[in-house]
Amino acid sequence: MRISVLAVAAVLGLATPAFAQSSSQSPAPHPEEEAVDPYTISNDNAGARPFAGKEMLAAFHGQEGIGRIVDDLVERVQVDKRTSEIFHASDFVRLRRTLKEQFCYILNGGCDYTGRDMAKVHEDHGIITAEFNALVELLQQSMANEGVAFGAQNRFLAKLAPMKRETVTR
Amino acid sequence: MVKAGVVCLAAAVWIPGVAIAQDNSPDITVETGGKLLLTRGISTIEGQGGGGLTPWATITGNETDRGIGGVAHMTAVDLPDYSFLSYGAAVGLFDRFELSYTRQEFDTEDVGTALGLGQGFTFAQDVWGAKVRFAGDAIYDQDIWMPQIALGANWKTNSQSAVISVMGGADDAGWETYASATKLFLDSSLLLNGTLRWTNANQTGLLGYGGNLNDDHELMGEFSAGWMLAPDIIVGAEYRMKPDNLAIAKENDWLDLYAAWAINHTVTLTGAYVDLGSIATFEKQRGVYLSLQAGF
């Protein structure tokens, strides 16, 4: 994946010495997704440092479990009246991919996060605290549905919680 | 008296309907709801949002920073020699301010006869409370140690001025202030709270304020811990230090073990085992606490 990113970036002439970090190029094209403005790819965009060890990944049933949780969550946010407006115009293909990457990265599942940072992703959504809390409840339901133990759910939520500062904008 | 409590509970269930109706009006936007389950706390026996015996830095009601919320509660404690009932209502404004009123009735049952007060002699107390959340976010500040901090004050009046005087109590009305710090340690599913209360209340004021041993306000520590078992269930313990101002009636610190269950975003049920020590010369007052809180 990284090789193809570098190749594309090189072709487009975007890799400048000033940004010559290992993964600081424009996103790789995903033809099935809507285009987004160029941004710098970095795992720092994930908004949290990953767990050490593989205990949390196992609690979430590996990458397959994370995939099921994200798919379930993306279904729930479209159905729930409290959150459906936020995701009204979302690119669900991209949302699923970047959410899976983000969760997998934080749970130390061997993934890199290639999405935008939390402030950028949410800047135009005007999310309020009640909506953010609704998202938390839906994620709890998705994790419970996957059979993730409550203690492991909370350890994960503790990593996500500070993202409220960048996500809730009004 | 119980009827008043039921009316309060009914109002708490009914008011959200009114508030939602207002949401549809183009001119008035009153947002209600939005807090996570259990994070409004329950209602203390004195009416503040928090635990059962001690307030937390959380603000009552389901509202967030954009809305209003409210709760009503009814709490009963059955002890070997007494029975206690409290009921009241509270509002939360913008998850910032809390105003509460609670009525407490302490029935001395047979002790009333023994003390020459009469069978079923009842001390009643009105508690008016205000609390302001000053800093921090107990739930979401998971990357820093800073707890949520609130300051509060209570004004209390007791119905039995003459008897309090005979028992050596100084006043039939009193005030107290407190500071609470609350933090959820989400990675270990643990909630901790510490409260410092500046008070001279005897048995929370049910036996008056100040007395022949001491009339001054003193600083009392109150502590609670809770372990979340599920999004809707928390179990834990509380400890509350108390003054000891009356020469004839020694007063002990309080202790309880509790379990709270948020049936949904409206109703929370709490049960506890309480050890309230010696009350008005009758020792080992240990019993069962039950509380129903309904809110929006």
Q: Which of A81, A129, A136, A166 to mutate to test the interface with B (most CBs of B within 10 A)?
A: A129
Nearest to A128 among B66, B189, B229 (CB): B66
Confidence of residue B3 (pLDDT cuts 50, 70, 90): low
* d(CA A162, nearest CA chain B) in Å: 6
In residues, how long is chain B? 296
CA atoms within 13 A on the CB side of B98: 35
Contact B33, A130 (CB under 8 A): yes
User: Could you tell me if B183 lies within 8 Å of chain A, comparing CB atoms?
Assistant: no
Q: Counting beta carbons within 10 angstroms of the beta carbon of residue B2, is it exposed (0 to 12), middle (13 to 18) or buried (19 or more)?
A: exposed
User: Which phi and psi (to 5°) does residue B261 adopt?
Assistant: -130, 115
Residue-level pLDDT at A13: 42
Share of chain B above pLDDT 70, in %: 91
- Beta-carbon separation of A164 and B140 below 8 A: yes
Residue-level pLDDT at A89: 83
Rounded Cα gap, residues A100 and B245, in angstroms: 61
CB atoms inside a 10 Å sphere around CB B267: 16
Nearest to B34 among A129, A162, A164 (CB): A129
First to last CA, chain A: 37
User: Could you tell me if A149 lies within 8 Å of chain B, comparing CB atoms?
Assistant: no
First to last CA, chain B: 23
* d(CA B64, nearest CA chain A) in Å: 7
CA nearest B80: which of B251, B280, B291, B255?
Answer: B280
CA nearest A29: which of A60, A7, A58, A51?
Answer: A7
Contact B266, B295 (CB under 8 A): yes
> B213-247 burial, b for 16+ CB within 10 Å, e for fewer?
ebeebeebebebbbebeebebbebbbbbbbbbbbe
Residue-level pLDDT at A16: 41
Given a cut of 60, whether residue B133 has pLDDT beyond it is yes
Residue-level pLDDT at B9: 59
The token duo for B187 is 């990675």
Rounded Cα gap, residues B62 and A44, in angstroms: 34
- 3-class state of residue A110 by DSSP: coil
Q: Over range A44-58, report the average pLDDT.
A: 97
Query: Residue A73: which H helix or E strand, with range?
Result: helix A62-79
Contacts of B189 in chain A (CB under 8 A): 150-151, 154
* d(CA B291, nearest CA chain A) in Å: 25
The mean pLDDT of chain A is 87
- Beta-carbon separation of B64 and A140 below 8 A: no
* d(CA B56, nearest CA chain A) in Å: 20
Residue-level pLDDT at A18: 41
Q: What is the pLDDT of residues B206-232, one digit of tens each?
A: 999 999 999 999 999 999 999 999 999
Confidence of residue B276 (pLDDT cuts 50, 70, 90): very high
Query: Residue B261: which H helix or E strand, with range?
Result: strand B254-262
Query: Residue B129: which H helix or E strand, with range?
Result: strand B122-135
CA nearest A56: which of A152, A142, A151?
Answer: A152
> B28-67 burial, b for 16+ CB within 10 Å, e for fewer?
eeebbbbbbbbbbbbbbbbbbbbbbbbbbbbbbbbbbbbb
Confidence of residue B10 (pLDDT cuts 50, 70, 90): low
Residue-level pLDDT at B109: 96
Confidence of residue B134 (pLDDT cuts 50, 70, 90): very high
Query: What one-character-per-residue DSSP string does A10-50 give?
Result: HHHT---GGG-STT-SPPPP-TTS---------GGGGSSPP
Contact B41, B58 (CB under 8 A): yes
Given a cut of 60, whether residue B72 has pLDDT beyond it is yes
CA nearest B265: which of B76, B69, B91?
Answer: B69
Residue-level pLDDT at B1: 47
Query: Residue B224: which H helix or E strand, with range?
Result: strand B218-230
Given a cut of 60, whether residue B148 has pLDDT beyond it is yes
User: Who has greater pLDDT, A42 or A9?
Assistant: A42
pTM of the model: 0.88
- 3-class state of residue B188 by DSSP: helix
The token duo for B236 is 């834990």
Residue-level pLDDT at A30: 87
Query: Residue A57: which H helix or E strand, with range?
Result: helix A55-59
Chain A residue at shortest CA distance from B233:
A150
Contacts of B35 in chain A (CB under 8 A): 133
- Beta-carbon separation of B139 and A151 below 8 A: no
Contacts of A158 in chain B (CB under 8 A): 142, 186-187
User: Who has greater pLDDT, B78 or B5?
Assistant: B78
Residue-level pLDDT at B13: 54
CA nearest B50: which of B197, B174, B160?
Answer: B197
User: Could you tell me if B275 lies within 8 Å of chain A, comparing CB atoms?
Assistant: no
* d(CA B282, nearest CA chain A) in Å: 43
Confidence of residue B34 (pLDDT cuts 50, 70, 90): very high
Query: Residue B259: which H helix or E strand, with range?
Result: strand B254-262
